[in-house]
Structure 1
Amino acid sequence: MAFATLSCLLLALCVPAAARSPRRPAAARSRRASLLAMQTAGAGGEADSVAARLETDGVLSGLTAEEARLVCWLASEEMGQAHLFAGWSAAAPDDKRRLLRQVAEMDARYPEDAAGARGLAAYVSHARTLLAESAADLNPFDGYTVSVPRDGERMEVGTASFRADEARGGAMLKDTVFVLVAGGLGERLGFDGIKVALPAETLSGATFLEIYCTALRAIEEREGGRKAPLVIMTSEDTHALTEALLLEHGYYGLQPSQVHLLRQANVPALGSNAAAFVASEEDPFTLLTKPHGHGDVHTLLHGSGLLPAFAAEGRSHVVFFQDTNVLAFKAIPAALGVSERLGLAMNSLAVPRAAGEAAGAICRLQPPAGDGLVMNVEYNQLDALLRSTGGAGDEADGSGYSPYPGNVNTLVVALGPYADALAASGGAMPEFVNPKYADASRSVFKKPTRLECMMQELPKLLPAHATVGFTQFERWFSFSPVKNAIGDAVAQAAKGNYAASPGAGEAAVYEANAALLRLAGATVEAGAPSSFLGLTLGLSPPISLSPRFALTTDELMRRVSGGAAVRISAASALELDGDIELSSLDLDGALSIRASPGVSVVVRGATVRNAGWCWESVEPGAAGMPAGVSIRGYALRKEGGVQIELQEPGRYEVSGGGVVTRL
């Protein structure tokens, strides 16, 4: 074949599949015309010279025409990835194909932006712009003024206003879609598996995913069988493991049809301000990739086609929640009620935030011109932003906390405005880059970076008339994330901060359950703290209250009908799962009651005394001990106690020392 003919063929092949997509005929024609213009300019044209160089260097040896197209495109000035092909003249075609398949997959998955560009060409273009701004140390909020959002509610659990909002939101649960952002592995915690497979607490042994699924089952039971949809965003690392966990446990009682898994794709790591892709050190024919950020959940939902289906089912709201914060489900009903009462298109759950705390803050931002918006501002930007407009910085007000609520990344959004906003953006989310520079020149990275997007930046897509606000809850009631290994947890605790270890998350659950029982009038003694692996935790008494026992605070108060007639000693352990009423109980020991659907239990005149269950130290990785338990440095030794499990439908009474009578 003559060189001119081959060059012409390669040039035509250099138009990527994304640009030739029938969904964007105008963009495709424009780009193809540009490339053909380069061809007719002769051998000096950029695309022509790329094709000639690749052919001469033997880079394309052994490749199909489609594969040659990809190589030519990657090596073009537009993409700037010619460095990837060093040494390809002697490489085996199968090795070359591994890299090209990876590129093609990432190109197909990266969403279209507002300008109609999509695929890795758009990714590179965005990256170069953002990296240039970062290298110039530009402040994205330059000229903005900051104020506390007008639309929001600071809740006090148990008050009349709280209970009114919770009742309103409780009635909305049946029409709510729940979205779990679960792309994380537990490696940082010392757990070789996905984080949602960790036990949230070791009294019941229920995993995070099991508790979330149980909450949806509780909604279904109280709403006469109407099923609540669960969408789970997984990652390339967690997708297969999440599928396997659901299958192993029969979807924890949910129907497979109500669970939707959306897998997030990684994006190429970037090694320079020119957005150069980075090959793996172990395998030069595999690109180093990184997660694109949890903002991809919006892109995936838009592309899934699920949002119109949910709207057709009469769903009104979507709740986004994180993988290891089980207390969020205690706060979600009241937050839904606030969203309905205030007409919020987006409602961020929040907690009181200490001034200077390493947590994002919900703020109202007003640019020098145009409409303001309410959104999260990261803690490392907030102080400088406040000072830049003449303020005192990130300081406490009269409450002892920052006036700006602390974001916990649990979001309540109205389905209609949400779907419309994503349709307008094509599902693409605003991106940012956060390179770690090797020196003051800001031109060399310490390690490869990537573009990211965050789910909490959704307000940037909403129209100016959409009302965005917050609902702030007390921390003990709504916030128990697990994200730190024991070393980091001990360091945080030494600073007076929440440790965020698996043990700290477990202790937070027990403490919240004890507080809610006290709110219902019960007497619950507080046990002495214990220390494991250098971390002091309030684990006693361990109290596990399944969402099937009480989905809302109001429901819990009805369940504890005896009020002061319910007494739990510090040496006790109590587990309740199902339709159970506590009329009168004096517990000094261990009691577990599990009631299957269709079973109703009343605990009346019960005085339970036994040696109870106790905490004992274990070494992480101890033989015969589940890793999700041993990483805490302790385990609950269950010997004796009263354990009741009722499966035959009917009404039962538990009395005396744990005697079960069918009524």
Structure 2
Amino acid sequence: MTAPGPPPELVARLAATDDSHLLRFWEELDDAGRERLATQAADLDFAAAQRLYQAKASGPDTSGDVAAMAATAAPPAAVVRLPQSEQDRTERAAAIKRGEALLHSGAVGAILVAGGQGTRLGFDKPKGMFPVGPVSGTTLFALLAGQLKARGEAAGVTIPLYVMTSPATDAPTREEFAAQNYYGLGEENVVFFCQGTMPAVDDATGKALLAAKDEVAVSPDGHGGLVAALKNRGALDDMQRRGVTTLYYHQVDNPTAIVCDPAFLGAHRQLGGEVSTKVVAKVAPEEKMGVVCDCDGVTQIIEYSDLPDEAAAKTDADGGLLLWAGNTAIHCFERSFLERLASDGESGAGLPFHVAHKKVPHLNDAGELVEPTEPNAYKFERFIFDSLPLASVAPVVETDREREFNPVKNAEGSDSPATAKAALTRLHHGWLEAAGATIADGATVEILPSFALDEAGVKAKVPAGTRYDADTVLK
């Protein structure tokens, strides 16, 4: 019996970009395989991939432009540094009050970027499921969602959580949240939306590649894919229905991020930001962090891989790093700004795509899997920080590195589970000692968000003179 042919509209779409070869194994597939390929291909923008490939193939090398921009970059002008004076502390207190009022109004939502796998940690699940609690083994998801629940309770509201997944993490993330009863947030207040993907194309021909006979080779469209995904999956509409005007954005790998931080929300509003960015002072010129800076009066982020060594090493009059402001990937967004970016994206004027030359396994004409030893394909992704130059106001707020920037990225060494657990222990022990408690040598006390969010919360619950002689979890 002859297999039914591919949908005519799919045939026409692929022919328009010279990608008809993606259907060459159609007759070998069963019904489920044909459905998988047709559904996936219908959701991919082959025309955009073709335009990006042509621009890469025929366009000038712009690496010199980035180097020239970096050479003239200056520290961000619209910046709030860590408090040093009494006036600074007064202004911070005012920002906290404004942020608390914004939270109390119910106008705040949180965006959690959770598309990454734990591959680099030797963990074959979504990174958010990685256990990082120093005593409890609590996961990243639980710590961050627990903060959000406690923050909402303190403000007398429920703060909705918008979780951006990737095709690789979407199903297991949804399953984990359901299994954990949505961490007490309520199923109706957790909105999942999966980021898009882009086809990977052959670097010599620009043609899309097959990962399997029933699967196009794709890659996630980057954290900048957030904007299109928010619109396409209905999350922006959900925010509007709930009256959410301001979004706190953070990534899943940083367990010490202060979720919906009132001080940051307040500073963002006080400065009239459309998008604001939290930064930390870089510890060395060669540190692998993007830098927030001003180029020709426009605030933007230059990735560390694009920052020439001589620009990274420049110092100011006091001998400190000139480009000191390291990007933490923590932002505040106005919903109206995200809506504008989404609208611009539909007209082709949204966040730009970046091109990466990568090794992409693929099928050859004989249907055999090829594992390249050298880069053979281009992948396309967007970066959310490219939104900064598009904002009318993009303030920068410094935070304390030890307190708030302890990501889990590597299996060992810096930015590893060990350093994150040590940071959580140091933070929690500091809160307890400030409350007058003592901790025996060798004992570890972990404080879950359900117990307290900060030093003041610990002081309200732990009597002075309390002693901990063994590992303890306060919850």
**Fold agreement, TM-score > 0.5:** yes
Deviation of 1:381 after TM superposition, in Å, equals 1.6
Partner residue of 2:209? 278
Matched position secondary structure for 1:582:
coil
Q: Which amino acid aligns with 1:334?
A: A
Give the counterpart of 1:171 among 90, 96, 101. 101
Give the counterpart of 2:410 among 446, 465, 484. 484
Rate the CA distance shift 1:587–1:542 in 2: closer, same or farther, 3 A. closer
Rate the CA distance shift 1:331–1:71 in 2: closer, same or farther, 3 A. closer
In the alignment, structure 1 residue 361 sits paired with structure 2 residue 299: no
1:303, 1:364 → 2: CA distance?
A: 32
In the alignment, structure 1 residue 351 sits paired with structure 2 residue 272: no
8 Å Cα contact 2:110/2:162 also seen in 1: yes
TM alignment of 1:21-40, pairs within 5 A: none
Deviation of 1:277 after TM superposition, in Å, equals 1.3
Deviation of 1:334 after TM superposition, in Å, equals 1.8
Partner residue of 2:250? 321
Give the counterpart of 1:408 among 325, 328, 353. 328
Q: Which amino acid aligns with 1:105?
A: Q
Give the counterpart of 1:585 among 459, 466, 469. 466
Partner residue of 1:380? 305
Rate the CA distance shift 1:130–1:301 in 2: closer, same or farther, 3 A. same
8 Å Cα contact 1:325/1:479 also seen in 2: yes
In the alignment, structure 1 residue 80 sits paired with structure 2 residue 2: no
Give the counterpart of 2:197 among 239, 244, 266. 266
TM alignment of 1:514-525, pairs within 5 A: 514-518=429-433, 520=434, 522=436
Matched position secondary structure for 1:452:
strand
Q: Which amino acid aligns with 1:481?
A: P
8 Å Cα contact 1:106/1:265 also seen in 2: no
Rate the CA distance shift 1:273–1:313 in 2: closer, same or farther, 3 A. same
1:221, 1:331 → 2: CA distance?
A: 12
Deviation of 1:355 after TM superposition, in Å, equals 1.3
Rate the CA distance shift 1:393–1:485 in 2: closer, same or farther, 3 A. closer
8 Å Cα contact 2:160/2:189 also seen in 1: yes
Matched position secondary structure for 2:221:
coil
Partner residue of 2:395? 469
Partner residue of 2:342? 422
Q: Which amino acid aligns with 1:67?
A: P
8 Å Cα contact 1:155/1:472 also seen in 2: yes
Rate the CA distance shift 1:132–1:408 in 2: closer, same or farther, 3 A. farther
Partner residue of 2:10? 70
1:290, 1:416 → 2: CA distance?
A: 28
Partner residue of 2:169? 238
Q: Which amino acid aligns with 2:189?
A: Q
1:541, 1:432 → 2: CA distance?
A: 48
Give the counterpart of 2:384 among 446, 455, 459. 455
8 Å Cα contact 2:294/2:300 also seen in 1: yes
Partner residue of 2:149? 217
Could you say what the CA RMSD is over the residues aligned between the two structures, in angstroms? 3.1
8 Å Cα contact 1:106/1:267 also seen in 2: no
Rate the CA distance shift 1:73–1:548 in 2: closer, same or farther, 3 A. closer
1:406, 1:199 → 2: CA distance?
A: 26
In the alignment, structure 1 residue 146 sits paired with structure 2 residue 73: yes
Q: Which has the higher contact order (CA 8 A, sep 6+)?
A: 2
In the alignment, structure 1 residue 557 sits paired with structure 2 residue 438: no
2:274, 2:12 → 1: CA distance?
A: 46
8 Å Cα contact 1:355/1:396 also seen in 2: no
Partner residue of 1:597? none
Q: Deviations over 1:289-333 (max 9, x none)?
A: 222111111111122333344245332310111112121116832
Q: Deviations over 1:20-48 (max 9, x none)?
A: xxxxxxxxxxxxxxxxxxxxxxxxxxxxx
Rate the CA distance shift 1:255–1:426 in 2: closer, same or farther, 3 A. same
Rate the CA distance shift 1:156–1:513 in 2: closer, same or farther, 3 A. farther
Matched position secondary structure for 1:329:
coil
2:172, 2:253 → 1: CA distance?
A: 16
Q: How many residues align?
A: 451
Larger radius of gyration: 1
Partner residue of 1:126? 52
2:320, 2:346 → 1: CA distance?
A: 43
Q: Which amino acid aligns with 2:356?
A: N
2:277, 2:132 → 1: CA distance?
A: 23
Give the counterpart of 1:510 among 425, 434, 440. 425
8 Å Cα contact 1:183/1:234 also seen in 2: yes
8 Å Cα contact 1:433/1:451 also seen in 2: yes
Rate the CA distance shift 1:587–1:436 in 2: closer, same or farther, 3 A. closer
2:312, 2:135 → 1: CA distance?
A: 44
Rate the CA distance shift 1:183–1:162 in 2: closer, same or farther, 3 A. same
1:171, 1:430 → 2: CA distance?
A: 35
8 Å Cα contact 2:444/2:471 also seen in 1: no
1:317, 1:559 → 2: CA distance?
A: 28
Q: Which amino acid aligns with 1:378?
A: E
Partner residue of 1:228? 159
Rate the CA distance shift 1:347–1:207 in 2: closer, same or farther, 3 A. same
Matched position secondary structure for 1:467:
coil
Deviation of 1:261 after TM superposition, in Å, equals 0.5
Q: Deviations over 1:644-663 (max 9, x none)?
A: xxxxxxxxxxxxxxxxxxxx
Q: Which amino acid aligns with 1:92?
A: E
Identity percentage of aligned residues:
24
2:13, 2:200 → 1: CA distance?
A: 18
Q: Which amino acid aligns with 2:77?
A: R
2:358, 2:125 → 1: CA distance?
A: 28
- Give me the TM-score of the superposition, normalised by structure 2: 0.84
Deviation of 1:218 after TM superposition, in Å, equals 0.9
Partner residue of 2:448? 546
1:422, 1:349 → 2: CA distance?
A: 23
1:514, 1:505 → 2: CA distance?
A: 14
Matched position secondary structure for 2:209:
coil
8 Å Cα contact 2:246/2:333 also seen in 1: yes
Q: Deviations over 1:113-165 (max 9, x none)?
A: xxxxxx3212321232135447x465453754422111111224995544443
Matched position secondary structure for 2:301:
strand
Partner residue of 2:118? 186
Partner residue of 1:394? 313
2:432, 2:229 → 1: CA distance?
A: 40
- Where do 5+ consecutive residues of structure 1 fail to align? 1-60, 111-118, 367-371, 439-443, 490-498, 528-539, 562-579, 595-663
Q: Deviations over 1:358-406 (max 9, x none)?
A: 110001122xxxxx5212110122227xx6xxxx553344364453300
Partner residue of 2:369? none
